[in-house]
Amino acid sequence: MTKITTEHLARNACVYIRQSTADQLAHNHESRRRQYGLVDRAKQLGWSNVEVIDDDLGRSGGGIARPGFERLLATICDGRVGAVLAIEASRLARNGRDWHTLIEFCGLVGTLIVDEDGIYDPRHPNDRLLLGMKGTMSELELSMFRHRSQEALKQKARRGALVLGVAAGYVKIGRDRIEKNPDKRVQDALQLVFTKFAELQSARQVHIWLREEGIELPVKSRQGEAHGVVWRLPAYNIVHNILTNPIYAGAYAFGRTTSRVSVKGGRKHVRRGVQKPMAEWDVLIKDHHAAYITWDEFEHNLEVIANNATGMSSALARGAARKGELLLPGLLRCGHCGRKLHVHYSGKIGRYNCYGARTNHGAARCISISGLSIDAAISNEVLRVLKPLGAEAALKAIKAQSSTTTAAERQLELSLQQARYEAAHARRQYDAVDPANRLVAGELERRWNEALQAVAKLEGEIAALIARRPPPFGEPERQQLVALGADLERAWLHPAATAATRKRILRAALTEIVVRRDGAIIHAVLHWQGGDHTQLQVKQRLNAAGRHNPRIPDDTIALVRELARLMPDRQIARLLNRAGVETGHGNAWTQERVCGFRNHHDIAVFRDGEWAERGEITLEAAAKLIGVCNMTALRMLRRGDIKGRQACAGAPWVIRAEDLAGFAKGKRRKPPLTQNTTQRVLDFQ
C-alpha cells in the first residue's frame, strides 16, 4: 500500500477492459464481469474517480489497431491517470511494443499498474523488471497457444477429417465427413454450371446466361449449416467460386489461402484470404468424397479461366474471345520476341501487331500481319483437319435440338416440384390447426396463399418457356444440317455463322499459333489441343495495310513523296482529300493510311526543322521578311517576282531563303508620287 500516494489518489484510475474475439464477447461473460469488477477494487484502494475504457472489446492484443489502448496512452501522457487496472498483463497487451510503451509512459509520469497479483511502480527497478517479465510471458503464451492450435488443425486436416464448413451442394455427416446434398434440384443446378462452362468456355458468359434464363443457384445460408441453402440469381463470384473450388472435384483441400502481414501507421495490418498456388496448398487429398466433375475436368477449367485473363500480368494467357471480325486474337504469339500479338482495327479491317519491343524497349515493332490473310489461311487449315468430324458434329446438334427439355426448363420443373411441396406442407399445417384459433390460422393461411402464388408463377414461366421453344427439325432441315456437317467450308461461310461462332471453333481446336515473318512470307506453327503441331506458310497479301492497290498512279506516289517533306501525315491526308485524290481502293485518306503508304514506299516521315535544314521558308515568313502582306507576296510569286514552288493546289508555297534574301537587297525605294520637284506635299493632321 505504501506505493499509493496522495498524488496518485488525486488523479483518476483507469480500468482497461478487453476481450480478444467476438466469440469471447458473446459467450465468455464471466471474464468480462471480472474485468468490470476492478472498478470496485479501485475504489477500495482509495480512488474516487474511476474511468472505464472498454473500446477494445472484441479486439486482439497482438499488435493490431486498438482505439481504446491509444486513448489510454493519451490519457496517461496528459498526467491525469494515477493507476491503470487490469486483471492480468495479457489484457493490456500481448506484444512487446505496446507493453513496453505503456511501462515507459507510466514511468515518466508516475502512474501505477495494478493487476490481481499486486501493485507495481514502473519507476522502481524491481517492479519494472517484473513487469517486463510479465509482458514477455504474455507474448510467449500467445505464440504458444497459436502454434499449438494451428498444428492441431493441420494434423487433423492431413487426415481429411477437419470439416469446418461445406460448400453448397454438400452436407456434413457427423463431424468429419461430407456427402452430396440429396436434393436433386441442388445437384442439377450445380451440374448445369459445369455443363455450360464446358460449352461457353467463360465464367462470365455462364454468369450472363444464367441471369438471362432466370436460373437460380443454391447458396449457403448465412444463418449456418442447419438452415441449408437459399436460392437466388447468381452473382459472378458465385459462379467463379463453383468453378474453382476443388471440393466439387471430390478433393479435400486445406490451406488454399494465407494471410499477408504489413505495418501501416506503426500497427500490424493483416490481409486475409490471399490465394496460394495449388502447389503450395497445405493439404490436398483427391477422391476424398463424391464429386460433380473429375479432377482432370477441374484442372482444365482452371486452365481455361487462367487463359481468359486479359490483365497486364497475364502475359502467357490468350484471353477470352472478344468482339470483332478478326478470328485469332489471343491465339497469336510473336516468334521473334515471344509476346502476344495485339489487334488494331481501322474500320472493319484489322491487323495483328507485336508492340512489345516498342513499348518496353523503344525498338521497332517485331511483326505486323494482315488480319485477312492470316485468318483465311489458318481457317482453311483448321477446316481441313476437322472435316472428318463434321458429320459427327451435325448428328450431335440434331440430337441436342430434338431434346424435349432444355436446361432452363429442367431447373424450372425442379423449382416447381419444390414449390408444390412447400404449398402442400403449408396446407397440412393449416388443416392441422383449430380454425377457431385465428391468431395462428390467419398466419398459416397467409403462408399457404404465398406458396400457391409461387406455384402459379412458376407454372406460368414454364408455359411461356415452352411457347418460345423453337419447333423441332423437320426432315429437310435435318438433311441440310447433315450436308453442312459434311461440307464444313460451306457451313463456315454460311451467312448465319458469326465471327463469335468461328472463334469458338478455332479456340476449341487450337491452343496457340506462333508466327514469324521472313520477308513477304509468314511462318506459322499451329499448336493443336491434342498436342500436335503443324507448320504453315502464308504469303502476305499485297493489299494489306500500307500496301495499296498497284493501280495507284505514279504521280500520286511522287506527290506523297514530296508532301512528306513539307507536312505531317494528318495534314497530308486532309490535302489529298481536298484535292480529290483517292487511295487504290477508292477510299478517303486517313492518317493511318498515309502512314502505311509511306512505309510501303519507303518514304521517311516529316520531321520538325526540315524546312530550316534545307534553307526554305513559307509564304507567310517570306511576306514578313520583305515587309508586305500575304496576298501581295502571293501575287509576287504568281508574277514571278519571287521564285517558289507548290506541289499541288492547296499545298504550302516553298521559297528558298537565299533567293528571298537577294530580292530583299535589290528591292528599290518607293517612287515619288509626281515628277514635279516643286510639288508640295500636304500632311493632314
Name the residues annotated as catalytic: 20
Q: Which of 607, 632, 623 is nearest to 655 (CA)?
A: 623
Query: Greatest CA separation found in the chain?
Result: 138
Other CB atoms within a 10 A radius of the CB of residue 620 amount to: 12
Q: Which of 316, 254, 300, 259 is nearest to 280 (CA)?
A: 254
How distant is the alpha carbon of residue 297 from its chain centre? 24
Q: Which of 107, 306, 130 is nearest to 203 (CA)?
A: 306
CA 382 to CA 386: how far, in whole Å? 6
Q: Are strands 229-232 and 217-220 parallel, antiparallel or unpaired?
A: antiparallel
Q: Which three cell numbers stand for residue 5?
A: 500516494
DSSP H or E run through 39: helix 38-44
CA 401 to CA 200: how far, in whole Å? 17
C-alpha triplet 650, 655, 656: angle, nearest 5°: 155
DSSP H or E run through 103: helix 96-109
Using alpha carbons, list the distances in angstroms from residue 239 to 95, 110, 204. 42, 61, 8
Q: Which amino acid type is present at position 551?
A: R
Residue 217 near residue 198 (C-beta atoms within 8 A): no
CA 74 to CA 54: how far, in whole Å? 15
Can you give the length of the chain in residues? 685
Q: Are strands 349-353 and 533-539 parallel, antiparallel or unpaired?
A: unpaired
CA 207 to CA 638: how far, in whole Å? 72
| 8-state DSSP, 87 | S
Q: Residue 41 burial (CB < 10 Å; 0-12/13-18/19+)? A: middle
Q: DSSP characters for 380-431?
A: HHHHHHHGGGHHHHHHHHHHHHT-SS-HHHHHHHHHHHHHHHHHHHHHHHHH
CA 489 to CA 381: how far, in whole Å? 11
Scanning 269-406, the segments in alpha helix (DSSP H) are 295-307, 356-361, 371-386, 390-401
Q: Which amino acid type is present at position 28?
A: N
Residue 551 near residue 585 (C-beta atoms within 8 A): no
- Measure the N-to-C terminal CA separation of the chain; round to a whole number of Å: 111
CA 178 to CA 164: how far, in whole Å? 11
Residue 157 near residue 255 (C-beta atoms within 8 A): yes
